[in-house]
């Protein structure tokens, strides 16, 4: 019984330290020192409305836009996850065949052999904001044809929105699809 009483009293004060002070103090520091990150790296338009987060992918079904990865949750950022297909699951092969067929329909000029694997696989979170630089390059002919923008203009936009691995060795080069599409939209508005 003595242990129960000590547990409750010790826990109460450790709770104040670990839950109340720790979390509230750091929330305060973050709000003052790093407001952008603390709020979720949000992206605003010229009217100061939130149009998304740099870190969270969006659904781009319109072929005029660069498209992101397969997402079984359709980029609903109120949840997250993947269908958890095992490598041997026949549903995985079926879904990939469907993605390949859809690709061929939208991009008749680009052969399947230059279709990068990230475009036909589901990300772990279902919210992957990025595609590989190869996946962006493979979509340039389609977007150029549909929007009338020149391929080398698009190529330089892709390059501007590509980040290399952090410090050169941590992670992989990636193209942020939302930022890239914002740049495409801007260019289309200008021309």
Partner 1 sequence: MSILPYIGIAVTLIIVILLARPMGSYIARAFDYTPGRLDRWFGPLEKGIYRVGGVRQENQTWKQYAAAVLISNTVLLLVVYMIFRLQDKLPLNPAGIGAMSPDLAFNTAVSFMTNTNLQHYSGESGLSLFSQMTAIVFMMFVSPATGIAVAIAFIRGLAGKPLGNFFVDLTRAVTRILLPLACVAAIILIGLGVPQTLQTGVTAQTLQGAQQQIATGPMGTFLAIKELGNNGGGFMGANSAHPFENPGGISNMLQIMLMMLVPVSLPFTYGKMVGNNKQGRVLFVSMMMMFIVILSVSLVSEHQGNPLIQQAGIQQGTGSMEGKEVRIGVEQSSFYSVVTTASETGAVNTMHDTLTPIAGMVAIGNMMLNTVFGGSGVGVLNVLMYAIIAVFLSGLMVGRTPEFLGRKIEGREMKLIAVTLLIQPLLILAPTAIALMAYPDTISNPGYHGLTQVLYEFTSSAANNGSGFEGLGDNTIFWNVSTGVVMFIARYFSMITLLAVAGSLLMKKPVPETSGTLRTDQPLFGLVFVVAVVIVGALTFFPALVLGPIAEQLTL
- How buried is 153 (Cβ within 10 angstroms: 0-12 exposed, 13-18 middle, 19+ buried)? middle
- Give the residue, chosen from 108, 124, 156, 191, that forms a contact with partner 1 under the rule CB under 8 A: 124
Residue 72 CA to residue 30 CA, distance in Å, equals 33
Residues near 33 by Cβ (< 8 Å), separated by ≥ 6?
A: none
- Chain positions 10 to 49 lying near partner 1, rule: CB under 8 A, are 10-15, 17-19, 22-23, 26-27, 29-31, 34, 37-42, 45, 49
Q: Is 166 in the site for partner 1 (CB under 8 A)?
A: yes
Q: Is 81 in the site for partner 1 (CB under 8 A)?
A: yes
Q: Is 72 in the site for partner 1 (CB under 8 A)?
A: no
Q: Is 110 in the site for partner 1 (CB under 8 A)?
A: no
Residue 126 CA to residue 76 CA, distance in Å, equals 8
Contact segment (CB under 8 A) with partner 1 among 124-132, 143-151, 153-161 equals 124-132
- How buried is 10 (Cβ within 10 angstroms: 0-12 exposed, 13-18 middle, 19+ buried)? exposed
How near is the Cβ of 76 to partner 1 at its closest, in Å?
A: 7
């Amino acid at each position: 019984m003595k242990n129960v009483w000590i547990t409750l009293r010790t826990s109460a004060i450790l709770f104040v330290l670990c839950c109340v002070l720790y979390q509230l103090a750091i929330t305060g520091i973050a709000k003052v020192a790093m407001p952008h990150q603390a709020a979720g790296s949000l992206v605003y338009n010229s009217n100061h409305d939130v149009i998304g987060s740099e870190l969270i992918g969006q659904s781009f079904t319109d072929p005029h836009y660069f498209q992101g990865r397969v997402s079984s949750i359709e980029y609903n950022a109120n949840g997250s996850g993947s269908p958890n297909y095992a490598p041997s699951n026949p549903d995985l092969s079926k879904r990939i065949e469907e993605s390949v067929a859809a690709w061929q329909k939208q991009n008749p000029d680009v052969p399947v052999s230059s279709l990068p694997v990230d475009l036909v696989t589901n990300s772990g979170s279902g919210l992957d904001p990025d595609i590989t630089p190869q996946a962006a390059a493979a979509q340039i002919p389609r977007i150029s044809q549909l929007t009338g923008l020149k391929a080398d203009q698009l190529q330089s936009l892709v390059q501007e929105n590509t980040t290399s691995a952090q410090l050169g060795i941590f992670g992989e080069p990636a193209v942020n699809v939302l930022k890239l599409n914002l740049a495409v939209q801007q260019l289309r508005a200008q021309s």
